[in-house]
Amino acid sequence: MILVVFGAPGVGKGTQAELLSKRRAIPHLSTGAALRQAIAEKTGLGITAKEFVEAGRLVPDEIVTGIVKETLEHDEYKSGCILDGFPRTKAQAEALDAILQAQGRAVSCVINVDVKSDEIVRRMLNRGRQDDTEEIIRERLAVYENSTFPLLEYYKQRGKLCTVDGNSDVEEVYGKIEKVINNL
């Protein structure tokens, strides 16, 4: 099963993806976490990605797509994967379809976690991550609106989109996601 946990920054994608991964024993890939780790380790990838992440902008598609391709080719990910924070652009969505098609599989479902915008800003400011200052949050929300939000239509047209109301607490939202998956 290939699940994409989708939504604006701050909707709780990471929390839900981690819970799903633990409880369903499906490996999880967060491109944001992979990039933060590369930046902390000062790898070549990290050095390139740093300026984009710190400005709240998208890391170039080829770089992020490369991370995903490499990960999905590992044995551990042969039975499935929960993608968190990827895809974020149409080029990434098309690349993901091509990677999976070459492996004889496809995206099972895109779970869109829908949260009101004032609640998003409140959650992000509470998180205290380095790229969670007010200015960078504003940039990341604008990037989401312009580049990522249009993917909802991409997946809707392909019959892959399921939207869950993410305005309640973690376990309640998790319950709604479980229901979606059980109905696949």
The site for ligand AMP (CB under 6 A) is made up of 9, 31-32, 35, 52-53, 56-59, 64, 85-86, 88, 92, 140
- Report, in Å, the least distance between residue 162 CB and ligand AMP: 20
Residue with Cβ nearer ligand AMP (170 or 175): 170
Using DSSP bridges, classify how beta strands 109-114 and 28-30 pair: parallel, antiparallel or unpaired.
Answer: unpaired
φ, ψ of residue 6 to 5 degrees: the values are -120, 150
Residue with Cβ nearer ligand AMP (35 or 107): 35
Q: What is the dihedral of CA 7, 114, 132, 147, to 10 degrees?
A: 40
Q: How far apart are CA 20 and CA 2, in angstroms?
A: 12
Cβ(158)–Cβ(4) under 8 Å? no
Q: How far apart are CA 180 and CA 76, in angstroms?
A: 24
- Report, in Å, the least distance between residue 144 CB and ligand AMP: 9
- Report, in Å, the least distance between residue 48 CB and ligand AMP: 12
- Report, in Å, the least distance between residue 65 CB and ligand AMP: 8
Residue with Cβ nearer ligand AMP (26 or 87): 87
- Report, in Å, the least distance between residue 49 CB and ligand AMP: 7
What are the structure tokens assigned to 122, written together? 């409140």
- Number of Cβ atoms within 10 Å of the Cβ of 166: 25
Cβ(94)–Cβ(64) under 8 Å? no
Q: How far apart are CA 25 and CA 122, in angstroms?
A: 31
Residue of closest CB approach to ligand AMP: 32
Residue with Cβ nearer ligand AMP (68 or 173): 68
Q: How far apart are CA 149 and CA 141, in angstroms?
A: 10
- Report, in Å, the least distance between residue 19 CB and ligand AMP: 16
Residue with Cβ nearer ligand AMP (150 or 175): 150
Residue with Cβ nearer ligand AMP (12 or 85): 85
